[in-house]
Amino acid sequence: MAATAAANPTISSISITRLSSLSPPSHHFNKLISHLLKPIPKPLHVTHSKNPLSDIIRETTKNLDNNSLYFNDDDDKPREECGVVGIYGDPEASRLCYLALHALQHRGQEGAGIVCVHDNVLQSVTGVGLVSEVFNESKLDKLPGDIAIGHVRYSTAGSSMLKNVQPFVAAYRFGSVGVAHNGNLVNYQALRAELEENGSIFNTSSDTEVVLHLIAISKARPFLLRIVEACEKLEGAYSMVFLTEDKLVAVRDPFGFRPLVMGRRSNGAVVFASETCALDLIEATYEREVYPGEVIVVDKEGVQSLCLMPHPEPKSCIFEHIYFALPNSIVFGRSVYESRRTFGEILATEAPVDCDVVIAVPDSGVVAALGYAAKAGVAFQQGLIRSHYVGRTFIEPSQKIRDFGVKLKLSPVRAVLEGKRVVVVDDSIVRGTTSSKIVRLIKEAGAKEVHMRIASPPIIGSCYYGVDTPSAEELISNRMNVEEIREFIGSDSLAFLPLDSLKKLLGNESSNFCYACFSGKYPVEPKGKVKRVGDFLDDGLSGSMESIDGGWLQGTRNQKGVVNRTLNWEQEINFSK
């Protein structure tokens, strides 16, 4: 884990590092970009920052066909809101940004955008869809310059999607600014109400727009101090990158809920990204995390680092290691692969069962399943094959197919499963509906027994810090004990990763992580209502389209009667009215 400000004097003081001279772009990247770029038409908008913010958001998307099934690629899982990238000092900044967003595509598939600086003008391309669908050669040609920021996100479905696609760009009295944000502000509603009372006009439903308004009304000089002044009013989770005519700024909230790392290319270009996997693709060397509460400014003078504000003990999101981040990333100073493998080993030790084969729910359960199999001394095999060509909308035949959405995505391997006692390792259970379909799928393929092992503790609380989770009433672990969940999903046994064992694994750093979704105890209490992020169709497989937009989670005032036991527990949370 990266050290805190107390152990890193550079956070609270200004340090200058000169950028080395830039080398010309390599043939490697030109070849890679040409291979990846595909001219797929999508809702798209190109704008200059001299236009008002409303110009960015006028386009809408068509409603889905009534005969189609809306299918969420993440099934019954929490969903990360987005990933961010920032690059300073590379003549191919936008193209490198494009590649980095590819590496972060798992953090958001609904929309993507890049903003760059050319001739002191901020130029933006945003669109709905995957990175490869939003961008092509002609679009990237419109984004010259050596400074760029990028963003991938989940957003609500329907006509409100495009207007919330970041980065946002706005012009104000001191110039222009672009921002890309990963996280969620728990005091967004109060801040927006106050700003609107004073005459601010909002064009999106995103909490990120609040940050732009706070910067615009700030009288502080220089720009860095306007960011600091704005962030002092924010509560909740934010890892952000800002872009001006001559600066790239990275900032992370005092608790460090969401990840943000810093790296450097061989030509001296500075790179920020949500995960190190983005650095790897563009051949940037990982240097360190952006520390909780830190602001880093990169300009022609070099790299300046200072402390945003005195900050408490870090509370980094443990779900980055459980589900969100790619296994090849280093997040919060730890290898995600090693964390997940150890989670599986703990499950094999603390919840053993006689079995013939260990399989995973791909892809996020694979590494934990490898750890379980190795510890248990049982063969790991591919019992479920995932289709990576599943889109978002399907025409379902008139004769209904049971568990249609799961069958589109996961195919059982009868040769592996038939007649076997099978351990199935998955990363989490949210509503439980997808787990029940997976168990049924495996049993229909001939498995004699199905034993579910979950590489996380039971999820009993909603997240307010940038993760899309259902309300507490919808979380199956908040309504049922483990035995009741086992009966619901139809498995022969069920075990979760014990929370105490998870904390023991983290050792001295265990207090630096947020476990609110497992305990109901929130480091920063939500104030009033908190806007939900992402789409939240039931089970991610079916549901009313009208129910998607405008979901609000009630903030909690206190917790009473919280009892946590690993395999048999109950919990009660009082929600504010």
In angstroms and rounded to an integer, the radius of gyration of the C-alpha atoms of the chain is 23
Q: Left, alpha or beta for 445 (phi > 0: left; psi -120 to 50: alpha)?
A: alpha
- DSSP assignment letter at 6: G
List residues with catalytic annotation: 82
- DSSP assignment letter at 363: T
Please name which of 317, 254, 238 lies closest in space to residue 516, comparing C-alpha atoms.
317
Q: Cβ(134)–Cβ(168) under 8 Å?
A: no
Three-state secondary structure of 17-28: CCCCCCCCCCHH
Please name which of 531, 503, 477 lies closest in space to residue 237, comparing C-alpha atoms.
531
Q: How many CB atoms lie within 10 A of CB 399?
A: 5
> 451 φ, ψ to 5°?
-115, 115
Q: Is the torsion defined by CA of 276, 278, 280, 283 positive or negative?
A: negative
Q: Give SS3 for 399.
A: coil
Supply the DSSP string of 243-283, one letter for each residue.
Answer: E-SS-EEEEE-TT--S--EEEEETTS-EEEESSHHHHHHTT
Q: Which residue has the tokens 């009473």?
A: 560
Report the Cα–Cα distance between both ends of the chain, in Å, rounded.
38
Amino acid, single-letter form, for residue 65:
D
Give the integer Cα–Cα distance in Å for 4 and 312. Answer: 9
Supply the DSSP string of 449-498, one letter for each residue.
Answer: EEEEEESSPPP-S---SSEE---GGG-HHHHS-HHHHHHHHT-SEEEE--
> 2 φ, ψ to 5°?
-65, 145
- Give the Å distances, CA to CA, from 217 to 56, 176, 241: 21, 13, 19
Buried b (16+ CB within 10 A) or exposed e, 349-364: ebbebebbbbbbbbeb
Q: Which residue has the tokens 């908008």?
A: 45
Give the integer Cα–Cα distance in Å for 301 and 87. Answer: 15
Give the integer Cα–Cα distance in Å for 21 and 465. Answer: 39
Q: Cβ(429)–Cβ(485) under 8 Å?
A: yes
Supply the DSSP string of 60-89, one letter for each residue.
Answer: --PPPPTTEEE--TT-SS-EE-EEEEEEES
Give the integer Cα–Cα distance in Å for 142 and 133. Answer: 16
Q: How many CB atoms lie within 10 A of CB 467?
A: 25
218 token code pair: 């700030």
Q: Cβ(514)–Cβ(257) under 8 Å?
A: yes
β pairing state of 270-273 and 261-265: antiparallel
83 token code pair: 């990933």
